[in-house]
Amino acid sequence: MTTQGDAVRVRLANKMVRSRDLTATTGELMNMGSAASLEMPHPVLIESAQGAYLTDADGNDYIDFQIGFGALVLGHKHPDIQKAILDQVNDKGWHFGLHNPGQIPLAEQIIKADNCAERVIFCNTGTEATMYAIRVMRAFTDKPKIAVFNGSYHGAHDYGIGIADPDSPANAPQWRAMGAGVPDGIASHQMMLPYRSEAAFDLIRANKGDLAGVIIEPAQSSNPQMGDDIGVFLQGLKDVCAECDVLLMFDEVITGFRFAYGGAQEFYRVQPDIVTYGKILGGGCPIGAVGGRADIMHLFSALGSDPRGIMSGGTFSGNPLSMAAGFAQLHYLDTGRAEIYPKINALGQRLADGINNYARSNDMAVQVLNAGSMFQIYFTDLPIHTARDIPPGKSQAETDFYLHLLDKGILVPGTRRSFVSNAHTEKIIDEAISRICASLDCIREDGLI
Ligand SMILES: Cc1ncc(COP(=O)(O)O)c(C=O)c1O
């Protein structure tokens, strides 16, 4: 008997002939990485985008919930950003190497947000930003260790890809690198803390002699939630770090300029010592930034003059194209913040409520978690408090569900981390809810949930 899952695979293969042909030789040409594609026989290649929609290489349209891995909070091809990019390219040039005046207004936009940034440095990705932030925290404190929380992601470098060893106790998780190629020695400088547990505070106190800094995603993209207890936890963390002379860093690569203009710091009214940004800050062009207290940030300019001065810098850091696109996006967000943030947070909630109500009333073991405009769908109805409550691996139900979604014209990235943008509307969200619920029906009819 043919299942809905078999049928959708055939339909997708027939709909995506060009994607299939173009990627037939990608094994020899390029590496697709682990995050980009769904479990298709071939990756879906995207040809163009507009607003809340993507079009693939075969001309199929999708409602986009990937939205540039969260970077395009105003949607694709926003006219203000497009104009800023074209003006820069047509009139001035797109790469100089040396500093350029476009860095100043973007730095001002960051500093005037309700956050801890008294000064900033620019780099090219969130990965670079967290790498520099870790280095400066070690240099400033003259201590070696960095602590992160289970369920977090802080970029693709060796210190950002820690996961909790599943065999370690929930309240004393052990840091382990995700994947191979990371020397064992890295683990000796890393600590893993239990998320949303005061046991973390005791571990910080016990390790304060060695601990340079604690890094937290104020809302974890693996477990997007925005409860009041998270604000209380962040404040408790700030207090314990201050008590122990340990720096606190918020990794706001996702939450920055998304929860509110001032990110999670404005939303929760808690300010760390240092913060990292990326994604939205670049308006769709590559970017990263570190911001923080002036006495810490000073070390970025003190190589050779202060023994604690650190090395930083890169060929494309602060490049004029990213500065222009980033300023256009931040200026638009800043000017429209009174409407934009309530709107996108409400759209995220509308989507989550619509799917959760459907799943509950149809007795499906499925739930959506959302932190405002960031959301993810989970295939369990058990409560999710931390990443440890998320079922490991990808079930057949999940794999088939995302293929049905793709067939019905909704694109979610392989990471499953999903975002609503200001280009989405209530009408688009309601259409998405109905397609998502129809996809759930398909996997239920196949007996997968
Ligand atoms: C919280 C967080 N930090 C850092 C990064 C790394 O940013 P990038 O992908 O720009 O290197 C990411 C990427 O998703 C992230 O979510």
C-alpha 446 to ligand 1 mean position (Å): 36
- In this predicted structure, what is the pLDDT of residue 35? 46
Cβ atoms of residues 190 and 138 within 8 Å: no
254 CB under 6 A from ligand 1? Answer: yes
Residues in contact with 120: Cβ distance below 8 Å, sequence separation at least 6, in sequence order: 107, 110, 111, 289, 290, 291, 297
344 CA distance to ligand 1 middle (Å):
21
SS3 of the chain: helix, strand, coil, percent, to 5: 40, 15, 45
DSSP 168: S
How far is residue 51's CA from residue 307's CA, in Å, rounded to a whole number?
49
pLDDT at 32: 59
Residue boundaries of the structural domains of the chain: 4-76+339-445, 79-335
Domains 4-76+339-445 and 79-335 are alike in CATH topology: no
CB-side exposure of 93: number of CA atoms within 13 Å? 6
Q: How many CA atoms lie within 13 A of 104 on its CB side?
A: 2
CA 105 to CA 102: how far, in whole Å? 6
Q: Whose CA is nearest to atom 7 of ligand 1?
A: 126
Cβ count within 10 A of residue 197: 18
Distances (CA, A) of 105 to 63, 93, 187, 317: 33, 18, 39, 15
Q: From 3.90.1150.10, 3.30.390.50, 3.30.750.24, 3.30.365.10, which CATH number describes the 4-76+339-445 domain? A: 3.90.1150.10
Specify the ligand 1 atom closest to the Cα of 278: 10
What CATH code is assigned to 79-335? 3.40.640.10
Annotated catalytic sites, by residue? Answer: 153, 251, 279
Which is it for strands 162-164 and 175-177: parallel, antiparallel or unpaired?
antiparallel
Q: Is 217 in the pocket of ligand 1 (CB under 6 A)?
A: yes
What local confidence, expressed as pLDDT, does residue 228 receive? Answer: 86
Kindly give the distance from the C-alpha atom of residue 277 to the centroid of ligand 1, in angstroms, as a whole number: 9
Which residues are within 8 A (CB) of 396 and not within 5 positions of it... i.e. 6 or more apart?
5, 448
For ligand 1, pick from 134, 153, 217, 417 the residue to mutate: most ligand atoms within 8 Å of CB. Answer: 153
pLDDT of residue 227: 83
| CA atoms of 349 and 262, how far apart (whole Å) | 20
> In angstroms, what CA-CA distances link 440 with 42, 349, 373?
23, 19, 22
- d(CA 411, CA 418) in angstroms, rounded, equals 9
- The answer to whether the CB of 155 is under 6 A from ligand 1 is yes
Query: Which helix (H) or strand (E) covers residue 149, if one does?
Result: strand 145-149
Tell me the residue type at 407.
Answer: D
Residues of the chain with pLDDT under 70: 25-41
- Rg of the chain (C-alpha set): 22
Q: How far is the CA of 364 from the centre of ligand 1 (A)?
A: 32
Neighbour order of strands in the sheet with 367-371: 367-371, 374-378, 418-419
Angle at 421 between CA 377 and CA 364, to 5 degrees: 20
pLDDT confidence of residue 414: 80
Atom of ligand 1 nearest to the CA of 288: 10
Mutate to test the pocket of ligand 1, among 131, 158, 253, 257 (most ligand atoms within 8 A of CB): 253
Instruction: Tell me how far the alpha carbon of residue 305 lies from the centroid of ligand 1, in angstroms.
Output: 31
CB contact at 8 A, 443 and 4: yes
Kindly state if the Cβ of 125 falls inside 6 Å of ligand 1. yes
Q: How far apart are CA 358 and CA 436, in angstroms?
A: 10
CA of 7 to the centre of ligand 1 (A): 36
Judged on CB neighbours under 10 Å (0-12, 13-18, 19+), 267 is buried
Contacts of 269 (CB under 8 A, 6+ apart): 231
286 lines ligand 1 (CB under 6 A): no
- Residue from 279, 285, 374 to probe ligand 1 pocket by mutation (most atoms less than 8 Å from CB): 279
Residue 30 has a pLDDT of: 61
Q: Which atom of ligand 1 is nearest to the CA of 127?
A: 11
